[in-house]
Amino acid sequence: MDVNTIGQKDCLESCVITTGVSSLNYYNEQLHSFGNSLVYNYMGVGSIENIAKVPHYKIIIDFSDNNIKEIIFELLNYLLSLNVEIDIKLIYNENLSSKNIDDSMTLLNRLEKHNLIDLEIIYRSSELPKEKECSSWLQKIKNTFFFTGAGNTGKTSLISALGEFCKDKGHAVALIDLSDNNKLINYFSNIYPLENINLQGNALKEKMKRTKEAVVDVYTYRFTSIKNISEEKDFYQYIKRISDMYDYVLLNADCNTVYDQSEIFNIAEKVFVVHDFMPTKINSSKQILLRLEEAGINSKGNISLVYNKIIKCYFDINFIEEKIIFDRTDNKSLVPIVDLDCHTFEIPYSRKTMKAMINHISHKASIINHVSFSYRRNIESIYKYINNQPYVEIDDVDVLEYGINYCKVTLSNILQHSYIQTFKEEIYKCKAYVKNRKRVASYLIHSRILEKH
């Protein structure tokens, strides 16, 4: 649930509730502000008790939003018990049809008939959402990459591992944390506020030129604090300055950044949406893709999905991506909700990898040299991808060739083990001993034969 407060909470007159991305867009484009109001973007069930209690609620409903029936029923079930005034603006597309929509319309009409709500229906055509025209001052910045997704999906550890991998390759890397929690500061010691880059930039640039050392620096910035176009332009200039100093710029952005300022993602060469198998995270990824598509990013083919897979999770990536990209109609057919041309990275997140992350935070031990082989291999694939280098996925390798090579490497590793080496030496000694004994025995036998003759 995303919250935007207008005015002081203790003197609220009303509360505006939107039911997802489409209804929130309508509010931002058409309504803007309802005076002294609290604005909730309610995108899922389960946290309704967080809504502030006010005498007047204004709800914007769009049937294009996800889980709309469950949201409508839970919202109204809760609000009607408060005995408050409820106004509903319903964005209705006559070409959309499903049992969930019919059930929702039946409920809304019945409540209006009994004067429990005021219902206003706004009809609109089924045109696809038009891409917003990107601001002329927003241009792509070289070697700049966004990582976004719901919380606790492994974004921070992924960015940290990739940053260290780039450093091991001899590059200077800037990690910019735009999230409210700034978790990246736990992974590296060089931490700077992004706002000071104009003051410290020259000194840092000269230091890097002088030492010529690979480095990972972390910059923090409260992106959600941006209020106007002037501050957006300042942020854009900060990133441009950073990109001139470093070989790679990796930005950690949470969902709120996408919901509030999706247009800024146009500056990235590539965008990575990180998710796992949890239904709430899948839904968040779907909303992110919708917002990015509205900003005109999906059609350019620079979005990638990163599935941080827990080893013991049996959910197939095809099943998960179906939930992210498609909606299923009443006749069970799949309808794509976004026009997505992207790469997918499936990264197994094992106990060994988790231990490497913890040891890095607590003891500053290397991440990339202690994670599992599969995790490191996928980090290397992402590194090649952002550098537009070809990389080979496991499915693209000939199975027989891969099996033979794997057996060769495994056998070589076994033979190089110290215990095996000692065992081999003992075998060689035994063979030499037996061979010598055979020679002695043969000599004695021949000697006795000669004595008889």
Kindly report, residue by residue over 382-394, the tens digit of the pLDDT.
999 999 887 765 5
Per-residue confidence (pLDDT) for residue 9, from 0 to 100: 46
Say how many residues make up the chain: 453
Per-residue confidence (pLDDT) for residue 158, from 0 to 100: 92
Alpha carbons 161 and 155: distance in angstroms, whole number: 10
Alpha carbons 192 and 176: distance in angstroms, whole number: 9
The answer for residues whose C-beta is within 8 angstroms of residue 214's C-beta and 6 or more apart is 166, 167, 168, 169, 170, 171, 172, 173
Alpha carbons 18 and 20: distance in angstroms, whole number: 6
Per-residue confidence (pLDDT) for residue 86, from 0 to 100: 92
The answer for residues whose C-beta is within 8 angstroms of residue 209's C-beta and 6 or more apart is none
Tokens matching residue 132: 């917003």
Q: Tell me, what amino acid is at 174?
A: A
Q: Tell me, what amino acid is at 48?
A: I
Please state which architecture CATH assigns to domain 2-124.
Answer: 3-Layer(aba) Sandwich (3.40)
Contact 334, 295 (CB under 8 A): no
Tokens matching residue 16: 């505006």
The answer for residues whose C-beta is within 8 angstroms of residue 272's C-beta and 6 or more apart is 145, 146, 147, 148, 303, 304, 305, 306, 345, 382
User: Secondary structure of the chain: what % helix, strand, coil (to 5)?
Assistant: 50, 20, 30
Per-residue confidence (pLDDT) for residue 283, from 0 to 100: 77
For residue 119, list its beta bridge partners. 88
Kindly report, residue by residue over 327-346, the tens digit of the pLDDT.
665 555 555 556 566 677 87
Q: Concatenated DSSP letters for 158-189?
A: HHHHHHHHHHHTT-EEEEEE-SSS-GGGGT-S
- Which residue in 15, 11, 13 sits closest to 27, CA to CA? 15
Tokens matching residue 115: 């004067």
Alpha carbons 173 and 215: distance in angstroms, whole number: 6
- Which residue in 181, 140, 190 sits closest to 163, CA to CA? 190
Kindly report, residue by residue over 354-364, the tens digit of the pLDDT.
888 888 777 77
What does the angle CA 229 – CA 225 – CA 178 come to, to the nearest 5 degrees? 105
- Tell me, yes or no, if the pTM score tops 0.75: no
Q: Tell me, what amino acid is at 214?
A: A
Q: Is residue 252 helix, strand or coil? A: strand
Q: CA of 275: how far to CAs of 149, 174, 258, 363, 407, in Å?
A: 6, 23, 15, 28, 33
Q: Is residue 282 helix, strand or coil? A: helix
Per-residue confidence (pLDDT) for residue 340, from 0 to 100: 61
Per-residue confidence (pLDDT) for residue 395, from 0 to 100: 44
Alpha carbons 432 and 427: distance in angstroms, whole number: 9
Q: Which CATH number fits domain 144-396: 1.10.3720.10, 3.30.9.10, 3.30.70.660, 3.40.50.300?
A: 3.40.50.300
Q: Tell me, what amino acid is at 414?
A: I
Q: Concatenated DSSP letters for 48-59?
A: GGGS---SEEEE
Per-residue confidence (pLDDT) for residue 145, from 0 to 100: 95
Q: Which residue has the tokens 């409920």?
A: 107
The answer for residues whose C-beta is within 8 angstroms of residue 320's C-beta and 6 or more apart is 275, 277, 282, 307
Per-residue confidence (pLDDT) for residue 98, from 0 to 100: 78
pLDDT tens, per residue, the chain with 453 residues: 444 444 444 456 788 888 877 777 777 777 655 555 677 777 655 567 667 788 889 998 888 777 788 888 888 888 888 889 999 998 887 767 778 888 889 999 999 999 999 999 888 654 444 444 555 667 889 899 999 988 878 889 999 999 999 999 999 999 999 988 888 998 888 999 888 876 666 776 676 666 567 889 999 998 777 777 888 888 998 999 999 889 999 999 988 888 778 888 889 999 999 887 777 777 778 788 878 877 777 656 688 888 877 656 655 666 666 666 656 655 555 555 565 666 778 787 777 888 888 887 777 788 888 888 888 888 998 999 999 887 765 544 444 444 555 566 566 655 555 555 666 676 777 777 677 766 766 666 665 555 555
DSSP category for residue 364: -
Alpha carbons 212 and 230: distance in angstroms, whole number: 35
Tokens matching residue 127: 């045109």
Alpha carbons 184 and 178: distance in angstroms, whole number: 10
Dihedral (C-alpha) 249, 278, 357, 162: value to the nearest 10 degrees?
-20
DSSP category for residue 451: H
Q: Which residue has the tokens 């089924």?
A: 126
For residue 347, list its beta bridge partners. 308
Alpha carbons 17 and 101: distance in angstroms, whole number: 19
Kindly report, residue by residue over 391-429, the tens digit of the pLDDT.
765 544 444 444 555 566 566 655 555 555 666 676 777
Per-residue confidence (pLDDT) for residue 322, from 0 to 100: 63
Per-residue confidence (pLDDT) for residue 141, from 0 to 100: 92
